[in-house]
Amino acid sequence: MADMIMKRHPVDTNAGAVVLCDFGITRFNYTVQSGFTITFSRQTRIKIFSKDRLDEGDFIIPLYVSSQSSDKEDIGKIRAYSYNLEEGKIVKTKLEFKDIYTEEVNENWVHKKFSVPNVREGSVIDIEYQIDSPFLFNLQSWYFQDDIPTVFSKYHVFIPEWFNYKNWVQGYINVNRSTSSRETRYTYRVDAIVLGGSYKSGENRDFEINTVEYIYEANNVPAFITEPYMTTKKDYISAVKFEIQWTQFPRSPIKHYTTTWEKINIDLLEHSDFGKRLKGSRGITEIAESITKNTVEPLVLMQNAFQEIKKRISWNGLYRIYVYDNLNAVLDAKSGSSSDINLSLIALCRELGLDANPVLISTRDNGLVRPAQVILSQFNHVIACVTIDGQNYLLDATDENTPFPLLSPNSLNRTGWLVKEKGDWIDLRSENYYFEFYYGNFELDENLTFNGIFQYQTKDYASREIRKKINSTDGEKDFVREFEQKNAVTFSDYTLENLDNEDKSVTFKANVTIEDYIVDGGDRLYFNPLILGRIEKNPFTDKDRLYPVDFNYWSQKRCIYSIKIPEGYTIEEMPEKIRINLPDNKGSFTYIISNVGNIIQVNSEYKRTETLYTGESYQHLNQFYEMMIGKEGEQIVLKKSEKL
């Protein structure tokens, strides 16, 4: 009843829901037919406070399926209830079996999905389920944290001494860990048999084995808050994870499961759906012949190969590392996964005589790769690496809006594995900029309206964003309308240049009219000289931050404006010039303003030459943005002549 009448979480009073209890157990079972299997059980109880958290009753249970055999994980049981207070009594509503459905995600994952019935404000929901798994490598991880607070979270894991698992706790909250040992009795059934004309009845047998119990516990866990410029939250959320190292059964040699990246590299080169697919095909050869008719220059060959694959195969939105059909079939289908596209690109580059190899990566929304954990399943995507004169060019032909030779932003995830004869790690971080250049020549008329010409030029990732925005809306008109609304201006006679030419910068040119921008204080006028393009809000609102700030790419923004003020006004006050630097020259901001007669010149430049800032350097970054935004927000004061 105390849970039912609770109106808010006592620690986080703004929370729309709270996990009251989350309890999990993993145990090993044994049968003669299956050997050892793993059973994972979980029971969780959640209190709903507000309507915007009713989706806490929507559950997804992922189940692993082998793509190499008939083995799969199964649900042993699912029970779910909602509890609501009606006329002072607790009313219980049960989830019906018919309301549980299955979704096939890909060749390795199936989701069991359901929604707890009758969930509303004030509800308490209980969910209990069990997963039976034949996969000894898939000992369930446990997450102590969610985007709502958790009162109590506890995970028990019982591991027989014949199994050794590496385990580690990640995250930024305190997790208590304890271990103990005990003898565990396993009982199994031996079926009846007929042998040599005699009958031997079935019987139960048992054996004892020392078992290590691990207990992980966390109390009063705060909600995980997603902050700007992060990879997926699973990189930072507090959890315990397991990786099988070896098994050793009585009277048997030790069996190692942990491999090395070098061994994985060899396996990939020989894999029928990976390395063997790079032998080329009739279709690849025909494309190569058409390309070499016009050039033999390696850089041009690489660029033409990139454009040909991008033009011939559209991405179906799926990230994969294997190709399950021959490359001729991929070309004929004209659509494919990321592996279909980029392995075709690599095969084409090789056909052209270029040194091209695959790079396994994990996209930003899939999570960071941890080289110390030698697990191939960390990767979900493959791109191409072409080496010319000792320089590596990383290519990804899946994104129609990303120009050569940039990687799509989702692929810029620190490090990847280069698959070649001597494979190695390769840096994915980009030194290309999100570049913006604002230029304007404005004149303030007697009606206190700015008129003039304006130019907005972009390069690299900024050009990509414009192309993406225009391709996803109704085109140029929507882009211009949004630009006008964001900056409170009116454009006329505009042009957008190089939208279809990925080799060049997208440039927007227009005549501009800006009304209601000047604050008329009677004998004085006030306005911000950085008319368009200033940063108005600090993306980093918290005083402190635990997690790294992980930008996709470098960034540069420059604004150059010339402003002519009307006769009869003098400049009474202008912002002072300033230069700010981040430590180790990882960023800078320069603001210079001057005047010659009635012409005001404004030059502002922001540059960031780092993609990763640790939690320790967060305050420097926060203060940098605060000072920059403060300076860009300063105003010019014009004094009216007494004759006016």
For the stretch 116-129, pLDDT in tens is 999 999 999 999 99
- 220 and 268 fall within a common domain: no
Which of 560, 628, 553, 618 has the alpha carbon at shortest distance from 588? 628
Q: What is the signed CA dihedral for 101, 105, 109, 114, rounded to 10 degrees?
A: -20
Express as a percent the part of the chain with pLDDT over 70.
98
User: Mean pLDDT, to the nearest integer, of 528-550?
Assistant: 90
Q: What is the pLDDT of residue 195?
A: 67
Residue 503: pLDDT band by 50, 70, 90 thresholds? confident
Final residue belonging to a domain, choices 427, 458, 487:
427
Q: What is the pLDDT of residue 12?
A: 93
- 282 and 395 fall within a common domain: yes
Q: What is the pLDDT of residue 254?
A: 93
Q: What is the pLDDT of residue 314?
A: 95
Task: List Cα–Cα distances, 365 to 410, 442, 464, in angstroms.
Answer: 7, 43, 19
pTM: 0.86
Task: List Cα–Cα distances, 507 to 195, 469, 495, in angstroms.
Answer: 86, 14, 8
pLDDT in tens, 325-341: 889 999 999 999 999 99
- 108 and 51 fall within a common domain: yes
**CB contact at 8 A, 601 and 559:** no
Nearest-angstrom CA–CA distance, 228 and 552: 12
Cis ω on the peptide bond leading into residue 405 (within 30° of 0)? Answer: yes
Which of 354, 243, 242, 380 has the alpha carbon at shortest distance from 288? 354
Q: What is the 3-state secondary structure (H, E, C) of 187-237?
A: EEEECCEEECCEEECCEEEEEEEEEEEEEEEEEEECCCCCCCCCCCHHHCC
277: CATH: 3.10.620.30
- pLDDT exceeds 70 at position 104: yes
Nearest-angstrom CA–CA distance, 238 and 522: 59
- pLDDT exceeds 90 at position 530: yes
- pLDDT exceeds 60 at position 380: yes
**CB within 8 Å of 596: residues ≥ 6 apart:** none
Residue 642: pLDDT band by 50, 70, 90 thresholds? low
Nearest-angstrom CA–CA distance, 140 and 244: 11
pLDDT in tens, 407-430: 999 999 999 999 999 999 999 988
**CB contact at 8 A, 54 and 46:** no
Report the mean per-residue pLDDT for the chain.
Answer: 92
Phi, psi of 217 (to 5 degrees): -145, 135
- 350 and 493 fall within a common domain: no
State in Å, rounded, how far the first CA of the chain is from the last one: 76
Rg (CA), the chain: 31
Task: List Cα–Cα distances, 187 to 74, 77, 470, in angstroms.
Answer: 22, 22, 66
User: Mean pLDDT, to the nearest integer, of 485-492?
Assistant: 93
- 370 and 385 fall within a common domain: yes
Express as a percent the part of the chain with pLDDT over 90.
76
Q: What is the pLDDT of residue 533?
A: 93
- 423 and 466 fall within a common domain: no
3-state helix, strand, coil in the chain (%, to 5): 20, 45, 35
At 374 the three-state DSSP class reads coil
Residue 70: pLDDT band by 50, 70, 90 thresholds? confident
132: CATH: 2.60.40.3140
- pLDDT exceeds 70 at position 196: no
- pLDDT exceeds 80 at position 68: no
Q: What is the pLDDT of residue 192?
A: 64
583: CATH: 2.60.120.1130
At 325 the three-state DSSP class reads coil
- 484 and 367 fall within a common domain: no
Q: What is the pLDDT of residue 194?
A: 67
- pLDDT exceeds 80 at position 64: yes
What's the number of domains the chain is made of? 3
- pLDDT exceeds 60 at position 22: yes
Residue 67: pLDDT band by 50, 70, 90 thresholds? confident
| Highest mean pLDDT: which range of 243-247, 338-342, 522-526 | 338-342
Phi, psi of 159 (to 5 degrees): -120, 120
- 67 and 158 fall within a common domain: yes
Tell me 307's DSSP state: H
Show the domain range for 484: 434-640
- 193 and 270 fall within a common domain: no
Say how far residue 287 (Cα) sits from the centre of its chain.
34
Report which of residues 641 and 302 the model is more confident about: 302
- 331 and 471 fall within a common domain: no
Nearest-angstrom CA–CA distance, 476 and 461: 18
**CB contact at 8 A, 12 and 222:** yes
Final residue belonging to a domain, choices 427, 460, 490:
427
Please give the structure tokens belonging to residue 66.
């082998």
Ramachandran sector of residue 474 (left: φ over 0; alpha: ψ -120 to 50; beta: rest): alpha
Burial classification of residue 409, based on how many CB atoms lie within 10 Å of its CB (0-12 exposed, 13-18 middle, 19 or more buried): buried
Nearest-angstrom CA–CA distance, 10 and 1: 16
Q: What is the 3-state secondary structure (H, E, C) of 383-421?
A: EEEEEECCEEEEECCCCCCCCCCCCCHHHCCCEEEECCC
- 444 and 407 fall within a common domain: no
Q: What is the pLDDT of residue 28?
A: 96
Final residue belonging to a domain, choices 255, 287, 321:
255
- 178 and 285 fall within a common domain: no
Task: List Cα–Cα distances, 279 to 186, 283, 327, 388, 411, in angstroms.
Answer: 51, 12, 9, 20, 25
Q: What is the pLDDT of residue 644?
A: 54
